[in-house]
Chain A
Amino acid sequence: MKIDRLLWTGASLLFFAALIWFWQFVSDNRWVSPVFLPGPDRAWNAMMRGLQTGDLGLRWIATIERMIYGWLLASLAGIFLGAVIGSSEMARAYIGPSLELMRPLPASAVVPLAIALLGLSESMVLGVIAFGALWPMLLATVHGFSAVEPRLYEVSRALGLSRSAVIFKISLPSSMPDILAGMRLSLTVALILAVVGEMLASREGLGSHIMLAARAFRSADLFAGVILLGVTGLVSALLLGWFESWMLRWRESR
């Protein structure tokens, strides 16, 4: 079991190294013009330089902050609305169809509306992130709440649990696997939308950094930004994964 995992980790690291090597190989042989594709060495140097001297670090933090605030906003709203809709059959019947109608709307489709309402402001960016990240949260929570074992509601009635106790002690923990899966999905969406929002509203952040670098043909800077985005996505997914397996430790314990 343990050796198995070690092998898998080793294999994926090896694959990653091969990818970097291939990238270096392509750029060294100038298969793609260096104007568009810097080698990993140049991208790395640009990133280190940006982090040490420029404001790349500040931009990175700004993007992370936006992602997290938008995501938390979406999570809170999604869990609350999802709980309300999911725990009432009637609400599901009435609201469900409109949810299905709005769900496939890409968050970028509401960007013009958000700009009209909020201008090219910080709250517009946050609003777009929260709106886009809301859907996976909302749908996962609705699903979780509607899939609670009915027997547990009977147990609650027989024990005489209060209404709020049923929500916090039965429905919410029972929906936790779905909610956490939704949070993982919406975190990815939040990162993407943070970058898109920054590009559109030209707020300080990795998104605008990448766009400005692209316009000025500073491909090394562009790649430095992309690398940091990748790192952000990876680290946040890892952290959330740990949190998830800790929260759901009752599942694995066998």
Chain B
Amino acid sequence: MLEKQHAGSPVLHIDRVNLTLGGHEILRDINLSIREGEFVCVVGPSGCGKTTMLRLLAGLYQPTSGDVTYRSTRMTHPRQDIAIVFQDYGKALLPWRTAHGNVSLAFEALNAPREGRDDKIEQLLAKVGLGGQGKKYPNQLSGGMQQRLQIARCLAQTPSVLLMDEPFGALDAMTRQGLQDEILSIVRGTGATAFFVTHDLEEAIYLGDRVIGLLPHPGRVAIEVEVNLPRDRNQLTTREDPEFLRLRRQLFDFIKEAES
């Protein structure tokens, strides 16, 4: 596992990308290569272009100049093997469908065979800790459960890349930590590549193999740190590791400088 992260050609590649939206320069000269199986976290002050960068990788935006490629092909539109976990899970779920039906939507989009679909959905729900909750509607689930449901739907796409935009931003600390560990084990278990936007520096270090810091006006990559922590993370020991504390200090200083 440890070796795998550094091997191979990039899965996602952002090459000299500039993006202008509505006459405003949002991103300037972004360069980023994400390796197979790598977990990349992005931090930065509000409005610096983190979401915009994720939407470029998702194929929801096209760069004004430069290239965004996925396994060497240009991203001209969203792909089924790249899943997006949105922050506003409440808006990203279909309120008129049960939990089961929401996951089913991904299979319907894939035209997957009907046979055995129900079992697969039940397995996915169980995987994210929603076993036996398939008949509930989203408004009967807590915030954390709704976000789990959205993750289950993304997993139904069997994505090779997971793009996550502050997925735990609206959740309380306890739920958050639980979900951090779950997403880590899911990503490690499937070998997927992850791009994770967050406001929380500790979350970024805890999850990431690499953390990228952006600065605003226009959005640009200002800092990049490798996280040299053992890949098996633990909420207690990892957060007390001297390397963790050093990285936290480094990123904290960066953010403080950015805001002054």
Residues of A within 8 A of B (CB): 149, 151-152, 154-162, 165, 169-170, 173-174, 176, 248, 250-251, 253-254
Most chain A Cβ neighbours within 10 Å, of B83, B136, B139: B139
Q: Interface on B for A, CB 8 Å cutoff? A: 58, 60, 77-80, 82-84, 86, 88, 91-92, 94-98, 105-106, 108-110, 136-137, 139-140, 153, 157
Is A159 touching B86 in the complex (CB atoms < 8 A)? no
Contact B94 A158 (CB under 8 A): no
The secondary-structure label for the interface of chain A is helix
Q: Which of A161, A174, A176 makes the CB contact (< 8 A) with B109?
A: A161
Query: Would A174 and B96 count as touching, CB distance under 8 A?
Result: yes
Asked if A173 contacts B79 (CB within 8 A), the reply is no
Q: Which of B78, B82, B88, B106 is within 8 Å of A151, CB to CB?
A: B88
Contact between A250 and B95 (Cβ–Cβ < 8 Å)? Answer: yes
Are A152 and B94 in contact (CB-based, < 8 A)? Answer: yes
Residues of chain A lying within 8 A (CB to CB) of residue B96: 173-174, 176, 248, 250
Q: Are B92 and A155 in contact (CB under 8 A)?
A: yes
Provide the residues of chain A in CB contact with B82, threshold 8 Å: 158
Q: Please state if B109 and A160 are interface contacts (CB–CB under 8 Å).
A: yes
Known: A152-B94, A173-B96. A254 touches B106 (CB 8 A): no
Query: Once the chains bind, are B157 and A152 in contact (CB under 8 Å)?
Result: no
CB pair B86–A151 under 8 Å, yes or no, is yes
The answer on a CB contact under 8 Å between A160 and B110 is yes
How far apart sit A148 and B86, CA to CA, in the bound complex (Å)?
17
B91 contacts A165, CB within 8 Å? no
Q: List 20 A-B contacts (CB under 8 A).
A: A149-B91, A151-B92, A152-B92, A154-B86, A156-B109, A157-B77, A158-B58, A158-B60, A159-B109, A159-B153, A160-B78, A160-B80, A160-B109, A161-B108, A165-B109, A169-B108, A173-B96, A251-B139, A253-B137, A254-B140
Contact B91 A169 (CB under 8 A): no
CB-CB under 8 A from B77, the residues of chain A are 157
Structural contact, A173 and B94, CB atoms closer than 8 A: yes
> Which of these, B60, B97, B98, B105, contacts A157 with CB under 8 Å?
B60
Residues of chain B lying within 8 A (CB to CB) of residue A174: 94, 96
Complex Cα distance, B84 from A156, in Å, reads: 11
Q: Chain A residue with minimal CB distance to B85?
A: A158
A160 CA / B106 CA spacing, docked (Å): 8
Q: Bound complex: CA of A151 vs CA of B86, how far in Å?
A: 9
